[in-house]
Structure 1
Amino acid sequence: MKKKRTNSTFRKLVRKAHLFLGLGSDLIIFIMAITGCLWAFQEEIEAFTSPLPEIAKQDAPVILPIKARELAHEVFPERHVHGTLYGAEDEPVKVIFYEYEPEFYHTVYLHPYSGEVLHIENNLTGFFPFVLEGHRYLWLPKPIGEQVVAWGTVIFAIMLISGIVLWWPKNRKNRKQRLTLDWKETTKWKRKNYDLHSVIGFYISIVAVVIVFTGLVMAFENFKAVAYSSLGGDKETLWRVPENFSGEKIDTGVGSMDRLYYILKDEYPQAVDLEFHYPATDEESIYVEIGYTEGIYYDADYRFYDQNTLEEITSPTIYGVYAETGFPEKVMRMNYDIHVGAIGGIPGKVLAFFASLICASLPVTGFLLWYGREFKKKPARGIRTEKERVLAVTD
């Protein structure tokens, strides 16, 4: 008897926590989920709606990283070039400008052979940048929005766990009912709404937990470090570019980055793209990201080279050569691709799309449940409902 009372008290506390946390975060969770849903096929939609200019492959050398930066600086003279991306030889060279504060994020598309400016894109405007800003900041100022989203993700994690506790039936006989949508023509909308919230919510909870967990890894650096160390990892999780072995940059004649381009093109013919990042200081090494698979990022190589000698430098972080990383590093590097479903290709993105869509529905159906109970139509005084009459007889 005491155990039953304890279980009943525990479920009441869980129900209250689920209710109050939900009422306080419904809008935040809805925006995060619906924008995540819209983001799922961002790459495919943008490739279809904004195709790259077609360029005939030529038997001529492409413009090299130093020249590409010079040409792009003619468009934005005072801005910082983050990196230059080389794809296929019939695609434009992309020079990416990025500054954190105030945020400036543009891409200049250059003809790979002539260096002509083909297109200039503001990566902070348009539909998908708007969606991403909502997902990451709720369209609030970044410092405020980041914290709201981060802690909103924590609350959503608690909501998922408490929701599973409340869903779990007290006996096996009721379990089948909790797993099916047993709707009839006479089933009222309130019952349907309850089933949508509890039954559909339970089925999607496993996928939702994965999405939330990967979101927490991105939201909290400490959480990321703990998750990584729990897998047995012992490297740094913070991103940083190592310094040169040889110290400050010296005059080596031909630009080191230009020579590195030819070296890497020969060494990695299977690469789908090469992204060169220009050192921010004379002591910093050259950072190159080598991608091998379209649409995913985890299996890319992050390689670092001394500015003066082009000697390769091993990174002390989880970001290095993918084939040389251990299981903990691989899991951490897969985090973003898991979060957006890209890890599973198109089927994975479809799953992420519907999971996010259902997650967006949970705050709505949950609010309707609360509203229906809190503001339900009360019977006239002195007239008992059918349920009250039945209870009176059974008591």
Structure 2
Amino acid sequence: MLTKEMAKDKKSKVKKRSKKNWYNWHLYLGLITGVVVFVVSVTGCCWAFKEEIESLDAWHLSVKEESKPFIAATKAKEIALTALPGRHIHGIIYGDKSQSLEVVFYEEEPEFYHSVYLNPYSGEVIRVKDHFKGFFAFVLKGHTRLWLPKDIGENIIALSTLIFLSMVISGIVLWWPKNKKGLKQRLVFLWKSTTKWKRKNFDLHTIIGFYASSLAFALAFTGCVMAYGWFYFIVFKATGGDKNPRFVYPENISKAGVPVKPIDELVPILMDRYSEAKSYELHFPENDTTGILVEMANSDGLHYDMDYRFYDQRTLEELSTNSIYGAYENADFADKVIRMNYDIHIGAIGGLAGKIIAFIASLLAASLPVTGFLMYWGRKKKPAKQRKMATA
């Protein structure tokens, strides 16, 4: 029969064994994914203020306002194709009267992403920009694929993000103090002149890790939503989603032979009907059966509240969709959760303050693999006498 002391001793051993298992999980997965987490975090810091930095070289986005109508979409398409002949046009973006018109070219294989900026009144080509060149293109490739081939790099990033998500949880378990006295040491830097670098490094890892844990978890969680279809689907269903979570092009409701209205009439109609929208991106239909997509931005720098509206390519009548990507006014809670995911990931959901928070969270997350490795290295480099005493 077990005495109280024996039972207490057994319980203590179980706790120590459990803690050691958590420690080993945290340590070895951290060593495996540390470099990836560091690169993703640092590039995330750089990406946080992309729009603000790129605005310093945005001379091509503004034009002198004129009292003339914009050139038609088909005319813009024709002019842009003279600049990039044989390429596929993804969409045409119309802004306000003082903004240039952007014709977006995008092809997945082989990768091609350019924009041709036109004067919306005369059709003059202002600038041709390659979005896969420059500093932020370099940053994005590092953040999403480690500058490796797409299929390889994206899978490494996705798996590392999922592992990091579990490491945040194991880190909190390891951080949790035994008593109130230990709590203060895990919340505040109590450094003295005699405090050695190992203790300082330990505090940097544990204290910063604790304060950054919730933000790091949010960044990793939203990253997993973008990386894994099954993760995306689980989040959508868990929040009560009942629509189609994919992007769906509804088909025309009119039949062949119906008199066709020119697509050029659509954007002026929408500008008049939805005059408060910031921009209108027109997508030409891929074939004779699908509708016309128009993406209307309702806020500067945000994606979640965009309107995705579809129109019959013969009658220009609006089409309904059961996808979460429809008019924002029809979005329910689950739709908004998924739609907000990217804006939360980059911090844009909170405006400039949100981007600052995302920047700080990424910077702190980048420090964790460094301080964690130094902790591991410090233990490996213990003198033989210390290692023997520690083992005993």
Instruction: Please indicate, yes or no, whether the TM-score normalized by the shorter chain is above 0.5.
Output: yes
Corresponding position of 1:360: 366
Displacement after TM superposition at 1:295 (Å):
0.7
Matched, 1:244 2:252: yes
Corresponding position of 1:100: 108
Q: Which residue of 203, 214, 220 maps to 2:222?
A: 214
- 1:287 and 1:161 map into 2 onto residues whose CA distance is 42
Is the CA contact (8 Å cut-off) linking 1:36 and 1:353 kept in structure 2?
Answer: yes
Matched, 1:370 2:376: yes
- Report the identity percentage: 49
**SS of structure 1 residue aligned to 2:117:** strand
**SS of structure 1 residue aligned to 2:376:** helix
Root-mean-square deviation (CA, aligned residues, Å) is 1.7
**SS of structure 1 residue aligned to 2:295:** strand
Corresponding position of 2:3: none
The farther-off stretch of 289-298 and 168-177 is 168-177
**Matching residue's letter, 1:246:** S
- 1:74 and 1:12 map into 2 onto residues whose CA distance is 65
**Matching residue's letter, 1:139:** W
- 1:53 and 1:333 map into 2 onto residues whose CA distance is 27
Matched, 1:184 2:173: no
Corresponding position of 1:273: 279
**Matching residue's letter, 2:266:** L
**Matching residue's letter, 1:16:** N
- 1:17 and 1:142 map into 2 onto residues whose CA distance is 29
Displacement after TM superposition at 1:246 (Å):
2.0
Displacement after TM superposition at 1:107 (Å):
0.2
Displacement after TM superposition at 1:366 (Å):
0.4
Q: Give ranges in structure 2 of 5+ residues lacking alignment.
A: 1-7
Q: Quick one: structure 1 residues 158 and 207, their matched pair in 2 at CA, closer, same or farther if it must change by over 3 Å? A: same
Q: Deviations over 1:97-142 (max 9, x none)?
A: 0000001100000011110111000000100011011111111111
Is the CA contact (8 Å cut-off) linking 1:249 and 1:307 kept in structure 2?
Answer: no
Q: Deviations over 1:128-157 (max 9, x none)?
A: 011011111111111111111110101101
**Matching residue's letter, 1:291:** A
Matched, 1:320 2:334: no
Corresponding position of 2:269: 263
Matched, 1:22 2:36: no
Matched, 1:283 2:292: no
**SS of structure 1 residue aligned to 2:315:** coil
Is the CA contact (8 Å cut-off) linking 1:108 and 1:120 kept in structure 2?
Answer: yes
Q: Quick one: structure 1 residues 9 and 270, their matched pair in 2 at CA, closer, same or farther if it must change by over 3 Å? A: same
Matched, 1:153 2:161: yes
Q: Which residue of 195, 200, 204 maps to 1:196?
A: 204
Displacement after TM superposition at 1:276 (Å):
0.5
Q: Which residue of 79, 87, 101 maps to 1:71?
A: 79
Corresponding position of 2:182: 174
Is the CA contact (8 Å cut-off) linking 1:248 and 1:282 kept in structure 2?
Answer: no
- 2:307 and 2:286 map into 1 onto residues whose CA distance is 20
Displacement after TM superposition at 1:258 (Å):
1.1
Q: Which residue of 122, 130, 137 maps to 1:122?
A: 130
Q: Which residue of 12, 17, 27 maps to 1:4?
A: 12
Q: Quick one: structure 1 residues 47 and 155, their matched pair in 2 at CA, closer, same or farther if it must change by over 3 Å? A: same
**SS of structure 2 residue aligned to 1:184:** coil
Q: Deviations over 1:246-283 (max 9, x none)?
A: 2568662x52x211111101011111111111111111
Is the CA contact (8 Å cut-off) linking 1:271 and 1:290 kept in structure 2?
Answer: yes
**Matching residue's letter, 2:181:** K
TM-score (norm 1): 0.94
Corresponding position of 1:235: 243
Q: Please give the residue correspondences for 1:338-357 in structure 2 after superposition, counting only pairs within 5 Å.
A: 338-357=344-363
Q: Give ranges in structure 1 of 5+ residues lacking alignment.
A: none
Q: Deviations over 1:23-46 (max 9, x none)?
A: 111111111111111100001100
Q: How many residue pairs align between the two structures? A: 383
Is the CA contact (8 Å cut-off) linking 2:61 and 2:117 kept in structure 1?
Answer: no
Is the CA contact (8 Å cut-off) linking 2:60 and 2:117 kept in structure 1?
Answer: no
